[in-house]
Amino acid sequence: MSTPSHRRAIKNYRERLSERGIARFEVLGLDADRDLIRSLAKRLAEDGSDAARLRATISRSIGREPPRMGGILAALRRSPLVEVDLDLMRSRETGRKVDL
């Protein structure tokens, strides 16, 4: 268990990071990529023109768009069953008698 002074030091350190706009987070990756990810994070945290270039290059290479809202609804509207008149009513039967 950490001492009160240790907890206070961690709290102060994290507050200083927040003031600089830096967030602390954990990622999962291959052990071989550890140095690469750390150096990349360090360069991005400097927030200079080099960091902006890296962000743009990585964003282009990953090429993922942010998720859009309404994707399921749009897929349902594109369905070939949109104009089909389906009878979806279910018969209401009381069931059968079972001897227990």
Question: Rounded CA gap, 45 and 17, in Å?
Answer: 11
Q: Does residue 22 contact residue 45 with C-beta atoms inside 8 Å?
A: yes
Banded pLDDT at 24 (limits 50, 70, 90): confident
Q: What is the pTM of this model?
A: 0.50
pLDDT tens digits for range 38-74: 999 999 988 788 899 998 888 888 877 666 787 888 8
For the chain, the structural domain boundaries read 4-65
CB proximity list for 14: less than 8 A, separation 6 or greater: 24
